[in-house]
Amino acid sequence: MTDAAVRIVVAGRVQGVGFRAFAAARGRELGLRGHARNRADGSVESVVAGSREAIEAYLVALRSGPPSASVANLSVEDVAPESVTERDFVTG
């Protein structure tokens, strides 16, 4: 059941360090659906839908990231769950 959805933007050293693969692995483990994509400004955007508990656990994981990443800032905004059209977790 999808209770919630959020759009997350992670800034810092998050491109070229396996961050999207890390995000996708955590998202799948938590049963989330959505995506993680690099942005032109050097950040990573992730839009996910799932239970509030799974989203909170996902946010905790993203705040630390993979060992080679350095997260400087993480912003979160609620979005409509129906706006997340992916059936699984994908990277792009």
CA–CA distances in Å: residue 53 to residues 12, 40, 58, 60: 25, 30, 9, 11
Q: Which amino acids are annotated catalytic? A: 20, 38
> Domain residues of the chain, as ranges?
4-80
> What is the spatial distance between Cα 86 and Cα 73, in angstroms, rounded to a whole number?
25
Q: Which of 47, 51, 39, 52 is nearest to 12 (CA)?
A: 39
Tens digit of pLDDT for each residue in 27-79?
Answer: 999 999 999 999 999 999 999 999 999 999 999 999 999 999 999 999 999 99
| pTM, 2 dp | 0.93
CATH number for 4-80: choose from 3.20.20.70, 3.20.10.10, 3.40.630.10, 3.30.70.100.
3.30.70.100
Tens digit of pLDDT for each residue in 11-23?
Answer: 999 999 999 999 9
